[in-house]
């Protein structure tokens, strides 16, 4: 079989984390793949440190980020520039990950040019187009365009089969986020980091950025965090803020005056892994954190009304609590009080992967014979 030209597209922090192992695996097989990495710049400030940390070395940089652009503006610019990049590089296969605007538009641009699309992390569903918004819409569009669907779990694969995806276009791989997490954890064993909030007292890690929670949802989360900060004054509550002011400003207004609440800037990936590993409890609306935390043995409260990652909840790794302040405080108190009593949680195997997802995906890339 001839050498394949693989065009891998990423634009956000999660895409960099989850596509890094795929890029490494392709580059490790130069006789089989010519690997072209395209960075859209959808999240310029957040993605660039990860591009450097994982040594992704983009071959194409579309530099799409502009302040205050709407989803429609981002989508139109991304689609146009990606089409031009595909016309120039003429790949055999386009690889996208997840449910971002970058993934959706790259899949569309490839489909329009009759280039097969491989979708990493395919098949996640909530069943509600408004939750998460616009990600649930984006990933359904990618599914329509994809030639090969790399589902992270059997449940995700079942979602795709229910939508009519044939088994010969479907592969259960595990999630590449676990590949990256295990790589980083092993690397950090020999690396000394000075994070002053990690070891001095019990730590609660909070992350939240979902658009569907803007407004009353964020108010509920902030009320809960303020209550927990006062109830547990000997704990440190650390919240790395998202750069989107709609996510960060309500948090600053509500929590900036609380002494044991740390509102900090985004952590680099290694710093975030260390902070997760040090946490007693994690509160998050992040899909990636839901996937990673079981490998670190951390209980997670999911700050969303619905999740497309129910495997962790079914396994007992996570609980869905939404944005209701009373429920967040009640379930957080349960875990924090248990930890204070010295109770330990039983080990739970991570339902999202074993660290070999990229290997399976790249093997499938070489075998791919689908032509649109």
CATH code assigned at 363:
3.40.50.2000
The pLDDT, as a whole number, for residue 169 is 95
In DSSP terms, which residues pair with 151 in a beta bridge?
A: 172
CA triple 303-266-174, angle to 5 deg: 60
Q: Are residues 103 and 151 in the same domain?
A: yes
On whether the CB atoms of residues 174 and 360 are closer than 8 A, the answer is: yes
Indicate whether 71 belongs to any domain. yes
Q: Is the confidence at residue 370, as pLDDT, over 60?
A: no
Q: Is the confidence at residue 201, as pLDDT, over 50?
A: yes
Q: Which two tokens stand for residue 225?
A: 């965090």
Q: Are residues 261 and 124 in the same domain?
A: no
Q: Are residues 252 and 284 in the same domain?
A: yes
Q: Is the confidence at residue 198, as pLDDT, over 90?
A: no
The pLDDT, as a whole number, for residue 311 is 94
The pLDDT, as a whole number, for residue 197 is 53
Instruction: Give the count of alpha carbons within 13 A of 85, CB side only.
Output: 27
User: Per-residue pLDDT tens for 60-74?
Assistant: 999 887 777 899 999
> Where do we find the tokens 């079989």?
1
User: Per-residue pLDDT tens for 110-165?
Assistant: 999 999 999 999 999 999 999 899 999 999 999 999 999 999 999 999 999 999 99
The pLDDT, as a whole number, for residue 189 is 67
Segment 338-348 shows an average pLDDT of 88
pLDDT band at 16 (very low <50, low <70, confident <90, very high): very high
pLDDT band at 194 (very low <50, low <70, confident <90, very high): low
Distances (CA, A) of 2 to 179, 211, 304: 28, 44, 46
User: Per-residue pLDDT tens for 316-337?
Assistant: 999 999 999 999 999 999 999 9
Looking at the 3D structure of the chain, how many domains does it have? 2
Q: Are residues 167 and 206 in the same domain?
A: no
Q: Which two tokens stand for residue 123?
A: 């098949």
Distances (CA, A) of 298 to 248, 274, 302, 344, 346: 25, 12, 12, 10, 11
Indicate whether 186 belongs to any domain. no
- Residue whose C-alpha is closest to residue 235's, from 279, 299, 189, 180: 279
Segment 186-210 shows an average pLDDT of 75
- Parent domain of 245: 193-340
The pLDDT, as a whole number, for residue 268 is 87
Indicate whether 346 belongs to any domain. no
The pLDDT, as a whole number, for residue 341 is 93
Q: Which residue has the higher pLDDT, 229 or 366?
A: 229
Query: Residues with catalytic annotation?
Result: 99, 121, 135, 209, 211, 242
The pLDDT, as a whole number, for residue 372 is 41
Q: Are residues 226 and 143 in the same domain?
A: no
User: Per-residue pLDDT tens for 31-82?
Assistant: 999 999 999 988 777 788 899 999 999 999 998 877 778 999 999 999 999 9
The pLDDT, as a whole number, for residue 371 is 45
On whether the CB atoms of residues 109 and 81 are closer than 8 A, the answer is: no
Percent of the chain with pLDDT over 90: 74
Q: Are residues 221 and 160 in the same domain?
A: no
Indicate whether 302 belongs to any domain. yes
Q: Which residue has the higher pLDDT, 274 or 283?
A: 283
């Amino acid at each position: 079989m001839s050498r394949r030209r693989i065009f891998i597209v990423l634009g956000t922090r999660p895409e960099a984390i989850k596509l890094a192992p795929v890029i490494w695996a392709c580059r490790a097989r130069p006789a089989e793949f010519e690997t072209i990495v395209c960075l859209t710049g959808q999240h310029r400030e957040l993605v660039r440190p990860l591009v450097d940390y994982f040594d992704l070395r983009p071959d194409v940089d579309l530099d799409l980020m502009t302040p205050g652009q709407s989803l429609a503006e981002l989508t139109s610019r991304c689609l146009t520039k990606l089409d031009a990049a595909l016309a120039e590089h003429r790949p055999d296969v386009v690889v996208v990950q997840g449910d971002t605007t970058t993934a959706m538009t790259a899949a569309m641009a490839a489909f329009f040019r009759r280039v097969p699309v491989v979708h990493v992390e395919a098949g996640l569903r909530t069943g509600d187009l408004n939750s998460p918004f616009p990600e649930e819409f984006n990933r359904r569009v990618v599914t329509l365009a994809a030639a090969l669907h790399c589902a992270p779990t059997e449940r995700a694969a079942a979602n795709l089969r229910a939508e009519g995806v044939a088994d010969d276009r479907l592969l259960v791989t595990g999630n590449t986020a676990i590949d990256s997490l295990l790589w980083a954890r092993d690397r950090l064993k020999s690396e000394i980091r000075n994070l002053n909030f990690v070891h001095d007292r019990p730590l609660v890690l909070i992350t939240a950025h979902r658009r569907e929670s803007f407004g009353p949802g964020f108010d509920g989360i902030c009320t809960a965090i303020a209550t927990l900060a006062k109830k547990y004054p000997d704990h440190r509550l650390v919240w790395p803020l998202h750069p989107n002011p709609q996510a960060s400003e309500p948090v600053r207004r509500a929590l900036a005056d609380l002494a044991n609440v740390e509102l900090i800037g985004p952590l680099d990936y290694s710093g975030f892994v260390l902070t997760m590993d040090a946490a007693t409890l994690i509160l998050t609306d992040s899909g990636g954190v839901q996937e990673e935390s079981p490998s670190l043995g951390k209980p997670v409260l999911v700050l969303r009304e619905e999740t497309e990652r129910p495997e962790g909840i079914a396994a007992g790794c996570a609980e869905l609590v939404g944005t209701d302040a009373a429920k967040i405080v009640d379930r957080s108190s349960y875990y924090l009080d248990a930890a204070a009593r010295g109770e330990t949680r039983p080990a739970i195997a991570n339902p999202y992967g074993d660290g070999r997802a990229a290997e399976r995906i790249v093997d499938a890339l070489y075998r791919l014979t689908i032509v649109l």
